[in-house]
């Protein structure tokens, strides 16, 4: 059910004292081989945290032996000392595992601009190496949580091989990427190029299409490790499908645990002239604070949808758009459709379908509502 679901991986999660709460805060995932292909995708934010700068280089050659992750501090905008901490941590992990620092990916999450306690982190790394276990996935997933209310894990099983994963992220979710750390593992035999293609495709279709608050993090990392331990070598399409299934499952867990959210919102843009248009329109809708407040209040204010789409360059005629909310077509051809009172709000799931009547492309985007709890949680995050 986690990164240790596939064969050939050990993991651990320990408490290093980086979090004031005293909860677990250092995780380690180790590929035991026999193969060590890997692929990774990082934040497109130009203000990258030190671990991202390091890990982009570490993953560039397509081999990753271990991923060390800490919560309790993002190690971002912490000056040269912060980068030295990343370097030191990678060397430390490599020494203890008998591998090369250049094959160690480092991930951090927590508050930006606070210097990490290197001594505590170092002791945590040593403890994590000692604690490594083929059943360590759960502990690792718990150790990367920040404002997450629960650990997020997945296991996609195929005949003889599988894809496992864990994710951290509960806010600041926006393309591309959502604020998150994701480690995926597979025991499939796969060339690096195949892994890279599968991961980029999956990220584009899942994590890049969730957007809780339009904010993009400095630390986002998704890394996929392949041990080859199953001896099974799926074709590209099989690999693509399994990796996408794992990513979609984790993405839905992220949206389902977004900070303060009361509703999970599915936005299907259909009838778009192109996939890009559908993505652009979906993202604009997902980022409308006014719409997100209306959803919190269970107010079927469909005008907010049209106002959001109207800010984009997607191909559409305002006099043609249809909008349905939870199956009720409240807007038809750019004007009022069924009475908005007919919309039923039941449970957390809300579904918008927006038909641009401009073509055949369709894309689903996922978001959450904007709630008083979100504001309260983020009004005192660093204090």
Are the CB atoms for 141 and 185 separated by under 8 Å? no
Please give the torsion angle defined by the CA atoms of residues 166, 171, 172 and 177, in that order, rounded to the nearest 10 degrees: 30
Give me the phi and psi of 359, to 5 degrees please: 165, -155
* SS3 per-residue string spanning 360-381: CEEEEEEEECCCHHHHHHHHCC
Contact with a copy of itself (CB under 8 A) among 117, 303, 338, 362: 303
Compare residues 327 and 339 and give the one whose CB is closer to a copy of itself. Answer: 339
Is 115 among the residues that bind a copy of itself (CB under 8 A)?
Answer: yes
> Which residues are catalytically annotated?
179
**Both tokens assigned to 59:** 């993953």
SS3 68: strand
229 half-sphere exposure, CB direction, 13 A CA radius = 18
259 appears as a binding residue in the annotation:
yes
Cis peptide before 158 (omega within 30 of 0): no
The answer to whether 211 and 366 are in contact (CB under 8 A) is yes
Cβ atoms < 10 Å from Cβ of 243: 29
Tell me the closest approach of the beta carbon of residue 77 to a copy of itself, in angstroms: 5
- Near a copy of itself by CB under 8 A: residue from 15, 100, 138, 312: 312
274 C-beta neighbours (distance < 10 Å), count: 15
Q: What are phi and psi of 36, to 5 degrees?
A: -140, 25
> Around Cβ 214, how many Cβ atoms within 10 Å?
16
Candidate ranges 6-14, 20-28, 32-40, 374-382; the one touching a copy of itself (CB under 8 A): 374-382
Q: How far is residue 268's CA from residue 328's CA, in Å, rounded to a whole number?
A: 14
Stretch that binds a copy of itself, among 130-138, 188-196, 211-219, 241-249 (CB under 8 A): 211-219
When binding is defined by CB under 8 A, the residue of 2, 147, 218, 280 that contacts a copy of itself is 218
According to the binding rule CB under 8 A, does residue 231 interact with a copy of itself?
A: no
- Taking the C-alpha atoms of residue 301 and residue 305, their distance in angstroms, rounded to an integer, is 8
374 lies in the site for a copy of itself, by CB under 8 A: yes
Kindly indicate which of the ranges 14-22, 58-66, 216-224, 243-251 contains the residues binding a copy of itself, using the contact rule CB under 8 A.
Answer: 216-224
**Is residue 371 marked as binding?**
no
From 7, 75, 78, 221, residue interacting with a copy of itself (rule: CB under 8 A): 78
147 is in an annotated binding site: no
Q: Does 367 contact a copy of itself by CB under 8 A?
A: no
Interface residue with a copy of itself among 107, 172, 285, 358 (CB under 8 A) is 172
- In whole angstroms, the minimum distance from the beta carbon of 255 to a copy of itself comes to 16
In the annotated binding site for substrate, the residues are 146, 168, 179, 259, 378, 383
Binding residues (CB under 8 A) for a copy of itself: these are 45-48, 74, 76-79, 82, 111-115, 171-172, 213-218, 287-290, 293-294, 296-297, 299-304, 306-312, 316, 318, 331, 333-336, 340, 370-372, 374-383
């Amino acid at each position: 059910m986690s990164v240790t679901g596939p064969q050939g991986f050990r993991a651990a999660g320990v408490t290093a004292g980086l979090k004031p709460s005293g909860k677990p805060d250092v995780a380690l995932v180790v590929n035991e081989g026999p193969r060590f292909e890997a692929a990774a995708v990082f934040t497109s934010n130009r203000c990258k945290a030190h671990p991202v700068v390091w890990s982009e280089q570490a993953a560039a050659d397509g081999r990753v032996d271990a991923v060390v992750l800490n919560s309790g501090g993002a190690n971002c905008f912490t000056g040269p000392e912060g980068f030295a901490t990343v370097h030191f941590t990678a060397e430390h992990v490599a020494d203890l595992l008998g591998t090369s620092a250049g094959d160690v990916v480092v991930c951090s999450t927590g508050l930006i601009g606070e210097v990490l306690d290197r001594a505590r982190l170092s002791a945590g790394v040593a403890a994590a190496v000692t604690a490594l276990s083929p059943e360590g996935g759960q502990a690792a997933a718990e150790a990367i949580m920040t404002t997450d209310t629960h650990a997020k894990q997945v296991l996609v099983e195929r005949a003889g091989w599988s894809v496992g994963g864990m994710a951290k992220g509960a806010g600041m979710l926006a393309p591309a990427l959502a604020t998150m750390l994701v480690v995926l593992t597979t025991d499939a035999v796969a060339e690096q190029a195949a892994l890279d293609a599968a991961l980029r495709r999956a990220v584009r279709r899942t994590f890049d299409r969730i957007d809780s608050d339009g904010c993009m993090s400095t630390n986002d990392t998704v890394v996929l490790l392949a041990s080859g331990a199953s001896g099974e070598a799926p074709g590209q399409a099989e690999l693509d499908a399994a990796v996408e299934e794992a990513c979609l499952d984790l993405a839905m867990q992220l949206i389902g645990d977004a900070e303060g959210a009361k509703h999970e919102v599915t936005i299907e843009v259909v009838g778009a002239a192109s996939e890009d248009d559908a993505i652009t329109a979906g993202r604009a809708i997902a980022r409308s604070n006014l719409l997100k407040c209306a959803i919190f209040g269970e107010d079927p204010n469909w005008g907010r949808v049209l106002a959001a789409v109207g800010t984009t360059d997607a191909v559409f005629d305002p006099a043609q758009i249809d909008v349905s909310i939870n199956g009720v077509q409240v807007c038809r051809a750019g004007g009022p459709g069924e009475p908005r009172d007919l919309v039923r709000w039941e449970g957390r799931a809300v579904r918008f379908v927006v038909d641009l009547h401009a073509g055949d492309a369709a894309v689903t985007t996922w978001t959450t509502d904007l709630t008083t709890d979100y504001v309260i949680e983020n009004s005192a995050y660093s204090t």
